[in-house]
Amino acid sequence: MEGDTNTALLVPAQETLATAAYLCRDWKRSQGHCKYGEKCKFLHPQLDLSLDMAVARKNRTKNANGKPKRVKKKNKQRNKIFCNWLVQEFSLDFLRNSGGVLDVAGGQGEVSFILKNVFKIPATIIDPRDRIDYSKFVCKLNAGNYHNTRNEGSVNDTQVRYPDHIKLFFTPVLWECVNNEEQTCDPNNYEKEYSAFLQHKATPEYDQKKYFEQIENKAKSCWNPKTLLSSAPSATQSNEGNESANLDLEYVSKLLQNFGCIIGMHPDQATEAIVDYALLQGKPFAVVPCCVCSKQFTKRTHDGETVKTYEHLVSHIQTKHPDIRVATLPFEGKNTVLYHHGTSSGVIQVGQNLICE
């Protein structure tokens, strides 16, 4: 066994298997190499690329209080990785010239910031967040962190561009109101608000412009710097970026019809809405699901069972169209991306199921 670095377990003679209960991080990260060799006190198992952090959590050591040490997910680069994958999968030319990218539930705005500054792709964030602070992204851009990529589409210059920001919730209520469409989705897959909207829309009292104002006011009134679940005074708006103060119904309608691709990185409640609207419009989409939100979507089912697990959510989305593909992004945590190349004229029909390196 001596000299064979890829065999079972390499444990120092002085150490027992009980004390070497934690997977060696250097061994895993470097794919079978550790600078301490046989003197290392941690496990050196036979290399298995399918091994995930669940193994480390199960076998991890404990701190002085007897509680397991926290193992943080290595996903700080997930937004950069996702952007690189988008360019590889959908092509830089298409993303630049197809009408722009809609970044739904864009959160802190890093995905759209990278697309607009590194790849010069038009991007618009749709998220009720009241303030987006781009300062740390500007620092990373100036330091060249985003350009540390093999992608030929990256462009490095000194001009900073900020994404447009539409402060609205992305749900069927939004697009059916602004586009004046009939029912497009199954109410069981959404919150009660959608069913209430459908009932109100069928009455003579329904007024498109007034209801749009209600949608806009809801997004304004619910924002809390710490949570979206309770009302609070609005945070101070950022002076950076193109933020929508007073939205125009016609502008939002054109935006929702003339985009080129719709994306979502961990969009939580908006995951299914992204997929449904992209399929409705025949446009490409890419979404990386995260939270299932089973307490909010209590009637959403898969194979006769309520969708309560991540696996059920992914399977539920895949059933919406036979051509929805799945890829795995190289970061820890929720890294499954579901995507489709669209069906309308002029949209990419063929792509590769890539796993980025």
pLDDT in tens, 92-150: 999 999 999 999 999 889 999 999 999 999 999 999 988 888 999 998 888 888 875 44
Q: How many domains does the chain have?
A: 2
Higher local confidence (pLDDT), 285 or 356: 285
Residues 26 and 162 in one domain: no
Residues 169 and 271 in one domain: yes
Residues 178 and 322 in one domain: yes
Assign residue 130 the CATH number of its domain: 3.40.50
Residues 82 and 170 in one domain: yes
Q: Confirm whether 213 is domain-assigned.
A: no
Structural domain for 301, as ranges: 78-149+157-183+247-340
pLDDT at residue 343, as a whole number: 83
pLDDT at residue 267, as a whole number: 95
* 230-239 long-range contacts, CB within 8 A, separation 24+: 234/130, 235/130, 235/131, 236/131, 237/130, 237/131, 238/131, 238/132, 238/133, 238/134
Residues 266 and 304 in one domain: yes
Q: Confirm whether 225 is domain-assigned.
A: no
Q: Confirm whether 257 is domain-assigned.
A: yes
Residues 26 and 124 in one domain: no
Q: Confirm whether 294 is domain-assigned.
A: yes
Residues 118 and 260 in one domain: yes
SS (H, E, C) 51-78: CCHHHHHHHCCECCCCCECCCCCCCCCH
Q: Confirm whether 69 is domain-assigned.
A: no
Q: Confirm whether 333 is domain-assigned.
A: yes
Whether the pLDDT of residue 287 is over 50: the answer is yes
pTM exceeds 0.75 for this model:
no
Q: Output the average pLDDT for the chain.
A: 78
Sorting pLDDT into bands at 50, 70 and 90, what band is 30? Answer: low
Higher local confidence (pLDDT), 149 or 6: 149
Residues 143 and 279 in one domain: yes
Q: Confirm whether 263 is domain-assigned.
A: yes
* CA–CA dist 225, 175 (Å, integer): 26
